[in-house]
Chain A
Amino acid sequence: MEDFDDDEFDGPIKKFMYVNRKAPYGTVYALEGLEVVLITAAFDQDVSMVFVDDGVFQIKKDQETTGINMKNFSPTYRALEGYDVEKVYAEKESLEARGLSGDDLVIPVEVLSSAELAELMDAQDVIVSF
């Protein structure tokens, strides 16, 4: 049996976009979505992560969950960079509707308008939504 060497992966690189649209603790979508991104980051694809609608609340800083007995997974978003997920975006309209700005977030993101996000979405090979 041949040894598997992931440096020799020569399949086509596709553009993957993960779209996060749910607030972090009311449903399990946000946590599951984050885990999927971290797992698939191992496959050396062109990955973008987008926070839109209530998804922008996932990366709100100052989360303190001891009072609700749930794991605070917001620090895990800081690990994305270490997994070479460097294209991280938030939609400007979603932030503004919720009284948030880039300063409220736990990781640096590129803030895009709806029109810019629509263009980026249009250019993807695969879109996975949580």
Chain B
Amino acid sequence: MALLHTVNKSPFERNVLSDCLRLAKDGSAVLLIEDGVYAALEGTSASDEIISRNGSIKFFALGPDIEARGLSEKPLIDGLTLVDYAGFVDLVEEYSSVQSWL
């Protein structure tokens, strides 16, 4: 069974997303929360980290954290899915376990 990884740190300030992706297997999912949602932006110096695994890993971002940071109108990486808190719970239920990368 596959893992759900959560990442809550900005990719511009910490290496947490890279660390997560190094150890995340194909078929797993990554949910960006809190400052982790900055990694969802298209056209940044960090965008390629997600784009290079897009398709083999499912990427999600928490909508309320996107809205809080003023990113609703900015282009997000293609194929990335926004979820609300209920969607977060559904993901936790769907995957075998949660790995929180702090």
Q: Assess whether A26 is in contact with B9, with CB atoms less than 8 Å apart.
A: yes
Residue of B nearest to A63 (CB): B70
* A62 on interface, CB distance cutoff 8 Å: yes
A49, B101: Cα distance in complex, Å: 33
In the complex with contacts A54-B12, A54-B13, A23-B44 CB distance below 8 A: no
CB distance from A21 to the nearest CB of B (A): 8
* B43 on interface, CB distance cutoff 8 Å: yes
Name A57's contact: one of B45, B69, B75 (CB within 8 Å).
B69
CB distance from A57 to the nearest CB of B (A): 6
Q: Assess whether A62 is in contact with B44, with CB atoms less than 8 Å apart.
A: no
Name A26's contact: one of B10, B45, B63, B73 (CB within 8 Å).
B10
Residue of A nearest to B35 (CB): A26
Q: Assess whether A23 is in contact with B35, with CB atoms less than 8 Å apart.
A: yes
Q: Assess whether A25 is in contact with B34, with CB atoms less than 8 Å apart.
A: yes
* A11 on interface, CB distance cutoff 8 Å: no
List 19 extra interface pairs beyond A62-B72, A99-B47, CB under 8 A.
Answer: A23-B10, A23-B35, A23-B38, A23-B69, A25-B68, A26-B35, A54-B35, A60-B71, A62-B71, A63-B67, A63-B69, A63-B70, A65-B67, A65-B68, A67-B68, A68-B68, A98-B12, A98-B38, A99-B43
* 20 A–B pairs (Cβ distance < 8 Å), ordered by A: A23-B10, A23-B35, A23-B38, A26-B8, A26-B10, A54-B35, A54-B38, A57-B10, A60-B70, A60-B71, A62-B70, A64-B67, A64-B72, A67-B64, A68-B64, A68-B65, A72-B68, A74-B70, A97-B12, A104-B70
